[in-house]
C-alpha cells in the first residue's frame, strides 16, 4: 500500500513538471531527483525561520519546503514571510508560483497560501540582508567566461566584477563556488546551507580558497553521490551541508542511497577532502611524499605551442613530434603516434620548457583518475595537461634516494591505483598537481611488503 502511495505521488510530480516542459526545454532546466530533494530537506533539520532557494527555477525546493511547513503548522502559515526564491530568468521566475501552487494542490493542500516572493535578479550581485536560517537548492555550475569557450557566458567586464567580489575566486572558477560563498555570507550565525553540486570542489586546486573559506566559517558535511545523478550531466555529484559557526569536516559515502560515514574530523583547515581508511593510512605511514622527491611541472600549453615561432604544423625529416597525453601509457611512451599535429627541431625544444632536454618522468593528468607514468628517455617535448617530473638532487644523507625507475614502478602499481581509488573515488577524472605531490613513496622492499598485505 505504502509503495503505491509513493508511486502516485511521484506520478503527480512528473505530470506537473511535464506541464512546464516548454519552459524547461527553452532554458535547459532539469529537475533534481525527488528523493534527493527530500533527503536534503531532511538533513537540513529545518524547524523555523526564513528559507531561500537561489537559482530556484520553477521552485522545486520551495514547493517541498512549503509542503513541510504546512504539515508542521497548526494554523495557516505565512509562506510569503518564510520563503524566498531568486531566479535570473524572467520566464522561470514568473512561472514559479504557478508550479508551486499546482504542486500543493496536487498534494491536497487546497487552501490559498498566497504567493511566495520570487525575485527576478542576479543572485550573485543582488544585495540582500544576512537573514536566512536555511539556504537550499541546486545552483548552476560551469566555468564563467567567453560564450565560445565556456558554458556560463559572462562578459569580461562582469567577470572582473565577480573576481573582485568573491574572495574564493581562483583560476577558472566555477559559478557554483561563488554561489556557495555568497550563500554562506547570507546565513545567520547558526544558519545552514544545503546544496547539491559537482564534487570537484573537494579536490581541484581552483577550489583551494573555497575550502579554506568553508573551514574558516563553519562545519562542512559532504554526502558523496558519485556519477549519473543527473542523466544529462556526467559529473560526480555531492550534497554539501554547511553549518555556520561550528567546526569540523564529515564525509559520507552515500552511493546507492546508503549513508556510510567515512571521515569525521573535529578540526579542518581547508586541505583536500578525501576518503581515507586504515589501508590508506598504513600506506602513508613513514612514506615520503612525491613532491619531496620530484619537481612537478606541467607541459607546455596549446596556446604557447601555437604562438612559438619554432613550432611547425607539417612533419619534416629533422623535426621531432610534440607528444600529448594519449602518447603516454603505463611504463611506455608511444613516440610516433597518435600525433599532436605539431613538430619542432630538437635544438629548439628548450624554448618551450627548459627541462625538455632532460630525461624525466611523465605522468598523465587526465587518465580517469588513474596514475599512469613512464620515463621519457628520448627527451621529447610535450603539449597539454601532462605532468613532467624531474628528480630533486637532495644532499641530505639521511633521506633515502630513489631512482626514476623505482618511482615509476610504484606510481603504476596496482596498490598505488587502489590507494588513489579509495582516497579520491571518481570525484574527478583529473589528477591535480596537489594530489600528485602528496602520493606516498616507499623504498622497494617496504612497498612490496605493503603490496603483499593489501593486494
Q: Which of 109, 230, 310, 454 is catalytic?
A: 230
What is the CA 323 to chain-centroid distance, rounded?
A: 28
CA-based nearest residue to 186, from 76, 86, 109, 104: 86
CA-based nearest residue to 173, from 197, 149, 205: 205
Whether the upstream peptide bond of residue 286 has omega within 30° of 0, thus cis, is no
The long-range contacts involving 258-261, CB below 8 angstroms and separated by at least 24 positions, are 259/223
- Find the helix or strand (DSSP H, E) in which 344 lies: strand 343-345
What residues have CB less than 8 Å from 289, skipping those under 6 apart? Answer: 437, 438, 439, 440, 441
Cell digits for 117? 516572493
* CA distances, 375 to each of 134, 322, 389, 390, 417 (Å): 52, 16, 9, 10, 18
Q: Which of 99, 141, 166, 268 is catalytic?
A: 141
CA-based nearest residue to 153, from 213, 210, 88, 217: 88
Q: Is 138 part of the annotated catalytic residue set?
A: yes
For residue 244, what are the β-bridge partners? 218
Question: CB–CB of 258/225 below 8 Å?
Answer: no
- Find the helix or strand (DSSP H, E) in which 82 lies: helix 79-82
Q: How far apart are CA 180 and CA 395, in angstroms?
A: 45
CA-based nearest residue to 332, from 378, 296, 385: 378
Q: Which of 139, 198, 381, 440 is catalytic?
A: 139
3-state secondary structure of 391: strand
Q: How far apart are CA 341 and CA 61, in angstroms?
A: 49
Q: Which of 61, 97, 132, 138 is catalytic?
A: 138
What is the 8-class DSSP label of residue 230? B
Q: Is 230 part of the annotated catalytic residue set?
A: yes
Query: Apex CA 441: angle with CA 264 and CA 449, to 5°?
Result: 90
3-state secondary structure of 336: coil
Question: CB–CB of 79/116 below 8 Å?
Answer: yes
CA-based nearest residue to 23, from 85, 80, 98: 98
Q: Is 139 part of the annotated catalytic residue set?
A: yes
What residues have CB less than 8 Å from 61, skipping those under 6 apart? Answer: 32, 37, 40, 41, 53, 136, 137, 138
3-state secondary structure of 343: strand
- Residues marked active site are found at 138-139, 141, 230
Amino acid at each position: 500500500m505504502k509503495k503505491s502511495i509513493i508511486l502516485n505521488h511521484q506520478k503527480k510530480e512528473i505530470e506537473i513538471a511535464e506541464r512546464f516542459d516548454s519552459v524547461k526545454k527553452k532554458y535547459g532546466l532539469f529537475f533534481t531527483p525527488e528523493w534527493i530533494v527530500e533527503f536534503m530537506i531532511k538533513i537540513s533539520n529545518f524547524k523555523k525561520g526564513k528559507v531561500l532557494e537561489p537559482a530556484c527555477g520553477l521552485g522545486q525546493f520551495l514547493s517541498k519546503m512549503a509542503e513541510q511547513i504546512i504539515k508542521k503548522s497548526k494554523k495557516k502559515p505565512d509562506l510569503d514571510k518564510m520563503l524566498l526564491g531568486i531566479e535570473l530568468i524572467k520566464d522561470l521566475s514568473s512561472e514559479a508560483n504557478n508550479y508551486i501552487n499546482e504542486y500543493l494542490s496536487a498534494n491536497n493542500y487546497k487552501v490559498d497560501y498566497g504567493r511566495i516572493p520570487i525575485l527576478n535578479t542576479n543572485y550573485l550581485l543582488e544585495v540582500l540582508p544576512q537573514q536566512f536560517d536555511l539556504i537550499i537548492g541546486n545552483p548552476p555550475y560551469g566555468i564563467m567566461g567567453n560564450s565560445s569557450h565556456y558554458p556560463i557566458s559572462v562578459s569580461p567586464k562582469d567577470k572582473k566584477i565577480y573576481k573582485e567580489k568573491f574572495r574564493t575566486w581562483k583560476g577558472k572558477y566555477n559559478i557554483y563556488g561563488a554561489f556557495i560563498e555568497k550563500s554562506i555570507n547570507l546565513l545567520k550565525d547558526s544558519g545552514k546551507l544545503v546544496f547539491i553540486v559537482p564534487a570537484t570542489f573537494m579536490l581541484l586546486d581552483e577550489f583551494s580558497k573555497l575550502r579554506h573559506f568553508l573551514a574558516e566559517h563553519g562545519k562542512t558535511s559532504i554526502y558523496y553521490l558519485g556519477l549519473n545523478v543527473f542523466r544529462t550531466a556526467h559529473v560526480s555529484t555531492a550534497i554539501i551541508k554547511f553549518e555556520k559557526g561550528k567546526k569540523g569536516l564529515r564525509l559520507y559515502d552515500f552511493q546507492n542511497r546508503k549513508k556510510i560515514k567515512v571521515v569525521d574530523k573535529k578540526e579542518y583547515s581547508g586541505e583536500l577532502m578525501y576518503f581515507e581508511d586504515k589501508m590508506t593510512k598504513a600506506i602513508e605511514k613513514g612514506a615520503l611524499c612525491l613532491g619531496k622527491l620530484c619537481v612537478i611541472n606541467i607541459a607546455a600549453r596549446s596556446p604557447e605551442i601555437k604562438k612559438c615561432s619554432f613550432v611547425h604544423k607539417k612533419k619534416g625529416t629533422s623535426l621531432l613530434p610534440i607528444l600529448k597525453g594519449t602518447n603516454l601509457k603505463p611504463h611506455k611512451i608511444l613516440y610516433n603516434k597518435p600525433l599532436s599535429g605539431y613538430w619542432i627541431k630538437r635544438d629548439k625544444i628548450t624554448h618551450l620548457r627548459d627541462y625538455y632536454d632532460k630525461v624525466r618522468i611523465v605522468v598523465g593528468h587526465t587518465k580517469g583518475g588513474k596514475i599512469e607514468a613512464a620515463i621519457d628517455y628520448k627527451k621529447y617535448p610535450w603539449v597539454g595537461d601532462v605532468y613532467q617530473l624531474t628528480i630533486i638532487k637532495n644532499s641530505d644523507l639521511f633521506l633515502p634516494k630513489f631512482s626514476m625507475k623505482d618511482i615509476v614502478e610504484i606510481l603504476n602499481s596496482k596498490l598505488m591505483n587502489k590507494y588513489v581509488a579509495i582516497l579520491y573515488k571518481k570525484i574527478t577524472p583529473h589528477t591535480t598537481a596537489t594530489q600528485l605531490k602528496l602520493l606516498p613513496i616507499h623504498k622497494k622492499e617496504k612497498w612490496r611488503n605493503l603490496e603483499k598485505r593489501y593486494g
